[in-house]
Amino acid sequence: MPPHSPAPHPETWIEIRPAGMYCVPGGFYVDPVRPVERAVITHGHADHARAGHGAVAATPETLAIMTARYGAEPEQDRQAVRYGETLRIGDVTVSMHPAGHVLGSAQVCLEYRGARLVASGDYKRRSDPTCAAFEPVPCDVFVTEATFGLPVFRHPDDRAEIAKLLDSVALFPDRCHVIGAYALGKAQRMIALLREAGWERPIYIHGALQTLCDLYRDHGVDLGDLQPATAGRKGVARDEFRGEIVIAPPSAIADRWGRRLPDPVICMASGWMRVRQRARQRGVELPLIISDHADWDELLQTFDDVGAPEIWITHGNEEALKHAAAARGYRARALALVGYEEEEQ
């Protein structure tokens, strides 16, 4: 190869296939939505980390989360890559960098003949006591999510939202506050934020959260006193939960499970809670705008921070983000990937 040959544009070595984004010279997919021979995984949420791949490379935390969810998958060839470490797959150098989304979440940096693409997976920019903070990685192409890719999404300060919750708990001491929060990441972050705000009482968790809370603890995240929220019999309101905080997956709060709580205040922790009718549709009485995704301003700020001339947009409200990125002088392209959930929960 001549010494000054230009680096090949990622367009020439990345393909969008039905299973997802495919790196041709490495022979692997990033976050494929169906089982493939070789996958690199950004983080442990089910729509990004699926079961059944032949070989998987991910951070040790993400691999632990996948094991907790899908079992050991003994046939699978697993490769743990820590933040900052590199791995050679085919002709491509792969490295992992914190994405700030959930425990173990990574931006995957792919380098091929001097060209560099960063697939950020899902990410956020705010500090989160339960995971490593996002690190901007300079690159030629930055692949971004667009979950909150509309200028109506501006997440307020987390601490103000937690204060709103604690005010409500003080105002209704006879009611139980049940918070719908995604089982991986959001639930543990809510617990950690409550602890930071001085809530020292036990926090009661739905059975579906137990394994992941234990896993977070094993990775050194202090969650304080957690108790199972399963005491009591069917059809009998559990009076011991009056004045307490219960955390459950969003699907459980509106279900029969939630009805056994005494006069519950239904809360939901999600960036979607910014839109009133969204909160109403879910029967939420106390919306808490707490998100593990970047909001609109943070998405645009991130483009400036990574300094990539070109932005590829994967899933969410990609049209608006593409428009705004183009207006700021970036070359922007919507990848039209399918299979990732629009919902945060």
Partner 1 sequence: MKPFAELLDRLIYTPSRNAKMARLVAYFRTAPDPDRGWALAALTGALGFKGVKAGAVRELAMRRADPVLFEWSYDYVGDLAETTALIWPEQATNRDWPSLTEVVDRLQTATRAEAADVIEEWLDPLDATGRWALLKLITGGLRVGVSSRLAKVALAEYGGVDPSEIEELWHGIDPPYAELFAWLDGRWPRPDLDDRPIFRPPMLAHPLEEDEVAGLDLASFRAEWKWDGIRVQIASRGGETRLYSRTGDDIGGAFPDVLDHVTFQGVVDGELLVVLDGEVRPFNELQQRLNRKTVSAAMLRKYPAFVRLYDILFDGSEDLRPLPFDDRRRRLERFFDREAPRRMDVSDLVAFDGHADLDALRVSARGTATEGLMLKRGDAPYIAGRPKGLWYKWKRGPLTVDAVLMYAQRGHGKRSSYYSDYTFGAWRENPETGAGELVPVGKAYFGFTDEELRQLDKWVRDHTVKRYGPVREVSQGLVLEVAFDSVHRSPRHKSGVAMRFPRVSRIRWDKPVADADRLETLERMIE
Binding site for partner 1 (CB under 8 A): 150-154, 274-281, 283-287, 317, 319-320, 323-324, 327
Q: Which of 149, 123, 164 is nearest to 325 (CA)?
A: 149
Residue 232 in 3-state DSSP?
coil
**CB nearer partner 1, residue 260 or residue 274:** 274
**CB nearer partner 1, residue 140 or residue 285:** 285
Q: How far is the CB of 16 from partner 1 (least distance, A)?
A: 19
Q: How far is the CB of 109 from partner 1 (least distance, A)?
A: 30
What kind and span of H or E run contains 146?
A: strand 141-146
Q: How far is the CB of 299 from partner 1 (least distance, A)?
A: 12
- Counting Cβ atoms within 10 Å, is residue 70 exposed (0-12), middle (13-18) or buried (19+)? middle
Q: How far is the CB of 30 from partner 1 (least distance, A)?
A: 24
**CB nearer partner 1, residue 166 or residue 221:** 166
Q: How far is the CB of 338 from partner 1 (least distance, A)?
A: 9
Contacts from 109-112 at CB under 8 Å and sequence distance 24+?
109/137, 109/139, 110/10, 110/14, 110/23, 110/26, 110/30, 112/8, 112/10, 112/13, 112/23, 112/25, 112/26
**CB nearer partner 1, residue 35 or residue 151:** 151
Given the DSSP bridges, would you call strands 106-112 and 115-119 parallel, antiparallel or unpaired? antiparallel
Q: How far is the CB of 243 from partner 1 (least distance, A)?
A: 18
**CB nearer partner 1, residue 274 or residue 293:** 274
Q: How far is the CB of 164 from partner 1 (least distance, A)?
A: 11
**CB nearer partner 1, residue 104 or residue 180:** 180
**CB nearer partner 1, residue 217 or residue 276:** 276
What kind and span of H or E run contains 62?
A: helix 60-70
Question: CA angle, 296 as apex, 212 and 122 as ends, to 5°?
Answer: 30
Q: How far is the CB of 116 from partner 1 (least distance, A)?
A: 30
Q: Are 247 and 179 in contact (CB under 8 A)?
A: yes
Cα distance between residue 230 and residue 66, in whole Å: 25
- Counting Cβ atoms within 10 Å, is residue 308 exposed (0-12), middle (13-18) or buried (19+)? buried
**CB nearer partner 1, residue 181 or residue 325:** 325
